[in-house]
Amino acid sequence: MTATPTTPDAAEPLLRSERDGAVLHLRLNRPLKRNAVNDGLILAIDQAFTGIASDVRCIVLSGEGQHFCAGLDLSELSERTVYEGVLHSRMWHATLDKVQYAPVPVVAVLHGATIGGGLEIAAAAHIRVAERNAYYGLPEGQRGIFVGGGGSMRLPRLIGTSRMTDMMLTGRVFDAEEGQQAGLSNYLVEPGEGLSKGMALAHKICGNAPLSNFAVIQALPRIAELPPAEGLFVESLVAAIAQGDPTAKERIRAFLDGRAAKVAKQ
């Protein structure tokens, strides 16, 4: 992996990176600034998702300190021209596309403030675990700006355009329970338990056939955007490719021989 950018005033990396077996744990690491995303941090995320080692099977993304992420670092915003603003937003798009279309699934662990660009980062992940202390806001309207990190594409697909409009126009903040009901999180856990839940899910995901995981994260969102006839055709191709893989054949044989786990409610 390439060198991770650091804060200018500290040796601490902006994004901490740790391995736990096949799981890569990336942690936003500007706790004093509530993990507000400056250019260095978005660059660090970009670098981390560019050079994923081939033996990584799942990624967990979390935030250091009391909050997941306070969104865009507003201190870098005030001097930007319109043109620089477009380029800056496009930089976020390129980075968060690398998250959404990573070669392996990404599990985000959310706690405390998950705001603005922080919510846009969370929306690019494939699974979201929220602690009961998490809360979600899009204060762009109050700040006189607009989402720029892909939020207008990803968030309506998660929670609907109407809810997002409400959040942006009125500054409405969803608590963790409301976020879970709206579809922002997949799992809701007690404060302090998000990371262990996220890591447990990640290790479970690592146990799947890599090609199945890849098909889920790459094919599913694309098929969902296609007209039904084209979507069904692509589904057939992906299904045939996945079942032709030797791992699939071995796993199905194991089930038929009574060597594989049955489906059961956990």
CA geometry: angle 110, 101, 124, nearest 5 deg = 25
Instruction: Classify burial at 93, counting beta carbons within 10 Å of its beta carbon; exposed 0-12, middle 13-18, buried 19 or more.
Output: middle
**The only residue of 92, 136, 187, 214 in contact with ligand 1HE, by rule CB under 6 A:** 92
Nearest in space to 158 (alpha carbons), one of 177, 178, 125, 184: 184
Task: Please tell me whether residue 116 binds ligand 1HE under the rule CB under 6 A.
Answer: yes
One residue of 45, 58, 60, 72 binding ligand 1HE per CB under 6 A:
72
63 touching ligand 1HE, by CB under 6 A: no
| Span interacting with ligand 1HE, options 72-80, 125-133, 155-163, 196-204, rule CB under 6 A | 72-80
The string of DSSP letters for 58-117 reads EEEEEESTT-SB--B-GGGTTT--HHHHHHHHHHHHHHHHHHHT-SS-EEEEE-SEEETH
Binding characters for ligand 1HE, 171-200, by CB under 6 A (x = yes)? ------------------------------
> Which two tokens mark 255?
């089930």
Scanning the chain, the segments in alpha helix (DSSP H) are 39-50, 82-100, 117-124, 140-143, 151-159, 161-170, 176-182, 194-206, 210-225, 228-244, 246-256
Is 120 annotated as catalytic? Answer: yes
Among 115, 129, 130, 155, binds ligand 1HE (CB under 6 A): 115
Measured from each CB, the residue nearest to ligand 1HE is 116
**Active site includes 76?**
no
**Size of site (CB under 6 A) for ligand 1HE:** 23
CB of 1 to ligand 1HE, least distance (A): 24
74 binds ligand 1HE (CB under 6 A): yes
Residue from 85, 139, 210, 231 in contact with ligand 1HE (CB under 6 A)? 139
**CA–CA separation, 147 and 151 (whole Å):** 6
- Write down the catalytic residue from 140, 190, 225, 235: 140
Single-letter amino acid code for the residue at 156: P
> Taking the complex as a whole, how short is the minimal distance between the CB of residue 219 and ligand 1HE, in angstroms?
27
| Positions marked catalytic | 120, 140
